[in-house]
Amino acid sequence: MSELLANHIAGRWQTGSGSGTALFDPVLGTELVRVDAGGIDLPAAFQRIRSEGGAALRALTYAQRAAMLAAAVKVLQAHRDTYYEIATANSGTVKNDSAIDIDGGIYTLSTYAKLGEGLGAQRALLDGEPSRLGKDPLFQSQHVRVPRRGLALFINAFNFPGWGLWEKAAPALLSGVPVIVKPGTPTAWLTQRMVKDIIDAGVLPACALSVICGSSAGLLDALEPFDVLSFTGSADTAAVIRTHAAVAKRSVRANIEADSLNSAILLPGEGPGSEAFDLFVKEVAREMTQKSGQKCTAVRRVLIPENQYDAVAEALRARLSKVTVGNPRNESVRMGSLVSRAQFDSVRSGLQALASQTETLHDGAAQALVDADPQVACCIGPTLLGTRRADEAHLVHDTEVFGPVATLVPYRNSAHAIELARRGLGSLVTSIYGSDPAALGAAALELADSHGRVHVVSPDVGASHSGHGNVMPQSVHGGPGRAGGGEELGGLRALDFYHQRTAIQASTSVLSSFTL
């Protein structure tokens, strides 16, 4: 049997009491390691994390905690090769795709180390200016933000075991809140290894960072009112979380990142030969194939002027047919596999569902694999679907196929394009492509109400834009409605979730006496 990974909880390593769930190489089908979270006294461990981890972190200033994050960055950088090996074996990703998760996570952590340094030697934050509460100028209200006295529990999805940990842990630790991460089981190994390296290096106070791999049973039950919960995953699990007593009755603050039917929009007036058209096709093809489409931000709906349907289909087919798929260890392979057999089956059944309302414009299932046994490997080539009935094809706007799949959706005019983008009922991101700054700006503002991020690509930023699906720590990540209604990152805005904002009403002499 393979190694049973230990959990690190409340300052000590603890192996689960069960035989564990196996994690597999999705390309070779071999068992890698096992995880188990049985036998942990969660309420006692959570209590210790709140009291010891929380107190130790809150005793430090923001700048000291930022220095701690910078030290963690160095530790992770020193172990990058191991992380790439784990990602290849457990996520089946090619090097460039592993980089998004591993180096993306390290970059996010280092960004918060820099932002935290700027907050200096304080332990709390003033929020705005004092406001007079009445005629007497002496009695005023000053808002402050102080670190929450609970812990932060992260329940993460399988697709970003590295970045998914650090994009949440960086602002939490910088805020002075101890962290427990429960990674998605199929790829939990990378999260566990990163935490292990940080713990072994001793760069964080005891009980500041814990990892529990395996079942989520009992985790939510152990949460108390001052804790926070950040969840990333499917809308179905999100619904279970929202109705759990911890959230519904004990008011645990919850952030939810869920499914999203993201779109990319080519504005009217752009056709083959225009720079914007080429940038659009390049980005859509990249989004479909990066991490085999297993990104919550990936383009699922490709919105195009009706008269460009055939031209866009042709241009995308030309790009997608060049994408080699298979064993990520083979240098010639551009796209690796899905993370598990369950994901492979889910993509196949999602494609079957969409088939009733779409035509297949490029069939990835028919593609030969490089260096991989199609009976074993969870690989599938990129598949482009299309519908000529944008309004009636409701499944296209409802069904997130979490793989290398997107659908061409033609629109009649700009207003119709925006209406179709909103049919996602709230998305993480949309991207808009065109060459007229005024038209791009107007569309961006129009789409802002239903998206967490609007990514605008014009020829002048063709070489420098950060990518439709890349989540940058400077910008908020999250979206309204179906996307979960959550918000993460966005620079120092991310600290809000881990702080209590309180209005202190007092005389100006009291308010000016604060030592933060």
Active site (catalytic) residues: 257, 296
Rounded CA-CA distance 424/395 in Å is 10
With contacts defined by CB under 6 A, name the span among 7-15, 143-151, 226-234, 307-315 that binds ligand NAP. Answer: 226-234
Neighbours of 79 (CB within 10 A): 18
158 binds ligand NAP (CB under 6 A): yes
**Minimal distance in Å, beta carbon 400 to ligand NAP?**
6
| Residue number, 31 or 310, with CB nearest to ligand NAP | 31
497 binds ligand NAP (CB under 6 A): no
101 binds ligand NAP (CB under 6 A): no
Q: Across-strand partners of 213?
A: none
Q: Tell me, what DSSP letter sits at residue 251?
A: -
Strands 21-24 and 125-132: unpaired
Structure tokens at 104: 């993306």
Rounded CA-CA distance 303/284 in Å is 11
Site for ligand NAP in 57-76 (CB under 6 A): none
| Residue number, 68 or 155, with CB nearest to ligand NAP | 155
Rounded CA-CA distance 189/6 in Å is 10
473 binds ligand NAP (CB under 6 A): no
With contacts defined by CB under 6 A, name the span among 151-159, 380-388, 390-398, 507-515 that binds ligand NAP. Answer: 151-159
**Minimal distance in Å, beta carbon 160 to ligand NAP?**
6
Radius of gyration of the chain (CA): 24
Out of 195, 258, 264, 418, the only residue in the binding site for ligand NAP (CB under 6 A) is: 258
Burial class (CB in 10 A: 0-12, 13-18, 19+), 462: middle
With contacts defined by CB under 6 A, name the span among 182-190, 191-199, 381-389, 489-497 that binds ligand NAP. Answer: 182-190
In the block, residue with structure tokens 């009976």: 375
Query: CA dihedral in degrees (65, 68, 72, 75; nearest 10)?
Result: 180
Out of 88, 156, 337, 450, the only residue in the binding site for ligand NAP (CB under 6 A) is: 156
33 binds ligand NAP (CB under 6 A): no
Cα separations (Å) of 173 from 151, 181, 227? 10, 12, 14
182 binds ligand NAP (CB under 6 A): yes
**Minimal distance in Å, beta carbon 421 to ligand NAP?**
17
| Residue number, 156 or 289, with CB nearest to ligand NAP | 156
**Minimal distance in Å, beta carbon 93 to ligand NAP?**
15
259 binds ligand NAP (CB under 6 A): yes
With contacts defined by CB under 6 A, name the span among 10-18, 83-91, 153-161, 377-385 that binds ligand NAP. Answer: 153-161
428 binds ligand NAP (CB under 6 A): yes
**Pattern of binders to ligand NAP over 287-316, x per CB under 6 A?**
---------x--------------------
**Minimal distance in Å, beta carbon 464 to ligand NAP?**
24
| Residue number, 37 or 207, with CB nearest to ligand NAP | 37
Residue at shortest CB range from ligand NAP = 233
Spatial neighbors of 398 by CB under 8 A, at least 6 apart, are 261
Site for ligand NAP in 193-222 (CB under 6 A): 216
Alpha helices of 356-489 — where are they, by DSSP H?
394-398, 414-422, 437-447
Rounded CA-CA distance 175/143 in Å is 17
Collapse the DSSP code of 217 into the 3-class scheme (helix H, G, I; strand E, B; otherwise coil) and give the result.
coil
402 binds ligand NAP (CB under 6 A): yes
Out of 15, 234, 470, 475, the only residue in the binding site for ligand NAP (CB under 6 A) is: 234
**Minimal distance in Å, beta carbon 159 to ligand NAP?**
5
Contact, 255 vs 477, CB < 8 A? Answer: no
Rounded CA-CA distance 491/103 in Å is 18
468 binds ligand NAP (CB under 6 A): no
| Residue number, 160 or 497, with CB nearest to ligand NAP | 160
Q: Across-strand partners of 154?
A: 181, 230
In the block, residue with structure tokens 């499944």: 395
Rounded CA-CA distance 148/150 in Å is 6
Cα separations (Å) of 431 from 208, 461, 465? 38, 13, 11
**Minimal distance in Å, beta carbon 158 to ligand NAP?**
4
Rounded CA-CA distance 450/501 in Å is 26
Contact, 6 vs 182, CB < 8 A? Answer: no
**Minimal distance in Å, beta carbon 244 to ligand NAP?**
7
Of all residues in the chain, what percent are helix, strand and coil, respectively (each to 5)? 40, 20, 35
The residues of the shown chain that bind ligand NAP, judged by CB under 6 A, are 155-160, 182, 184-185, 216, 232-234, 237, 240-241, 257-260, 296, 400, 402, 428, 483-484
